Structure 1
Amino acid sequence: MSEQIKNYLRELGGHLSYLNEMERRDIMEEVSSHIYEKVAAGSSVEEVLAAFGQPKELAQSYGGEVIAKNAAFNFKSLITMIKFYFITGMKGMFIIPIVAITSITFYASAIIIIIATIVKGVASLLGIELPIAILDFGFWQAPYWLALIVSFLVAGLLYVTSRKLWQYLQRFLRNISLKY
């Protein structure tokens, strides 16, 4: 293996350190196999490495692709995105964490609203008065059936908004990947 290729791959691996070991290994194997295929086909090492671009930019494109492909909606994805935004520049520094945190917050709020509404309803049926106010305007409190409908509508709206924000974030990350 040429010293230039070793250095290129070492630098690329350093820029992929925010990914888990398996994802990093897969990317490194893919890049090295492409490099060796092109060199074996007759291209010079310098031409091949120039075609791949700077290791940092290549790492950004692969990192964005890994995150964008992961459709999971969980805390691990959020942490990976936060690590990734550190290497994507100013846009990523603001858009990625704000949209990711807002999306997860809306998702959690939808779940909390549904749980609170169900708990309030069950408690009311059992004759227990809980200090959970559902649609209380000070001078008028909505009947439970109306509060139930409104709560589910608000929870549904928050859930749909959280999913749309998550999808926007994935498109944003794909665009970063394509850019590099």
Structure 2
Amino acid sequence: MNTTLEKYLNTVDRHLKPLQVSERVDIVKEIKSSMIEMENEQLSPQEIIDRLGAPKELARAYLGDLITSKKGVSWNKFLCLCAFYSLVGLSGVIIIPALAIIAPVFIGCAFIAPILSAVKLANYLFHLGIPYMEHVGIVLSGIVELNPVVEFLLTLIVSALLYWAGRGAWKLMLFYIKSVSRTKEKISAAD
């Protein structure tokens, strides 16, 4: 067997450390036999690794299957359930509220900032005399005094970045909720 494939197997084995030695050996033997079958089909080592995916993800999939496939009560399953609910409980208290606040605030600022910057630009161009306009926009107090035209262009760039960051935070929150839900369904289905 190729040294690249051996390294792959060692990496998978390392990520399966939470399992008992016998279960780990069985899983590694199963993966090795799959690799040998693929080698017999004239696949290159890189193609075999591409088919199997990242070693960490493969090990994680085996760990998830073992958690959800075992029937009855066992200490390992009980400890895995406790770890899952503790991790979700603690991370959910931090992740969900933070992302739920960050996402709409960033998106809202992405829409409000260009409007305010446009008002400041109009005030500058037409000499409207709107009070407190010097406090609106990108302010670098004492360092650089920006022209309102340049400031408007910079605000558009920053607003685009804020919108993408807010949208990314929203998608990340939805991904987190869906992944926790899927894992919960797997664990519930195993019972």
| TM-score normalised by the chain length of structure 2 | 0.45
Q: Between Structure 1 and Structure 2, whose CA radius of gyration is higher?
A: 2
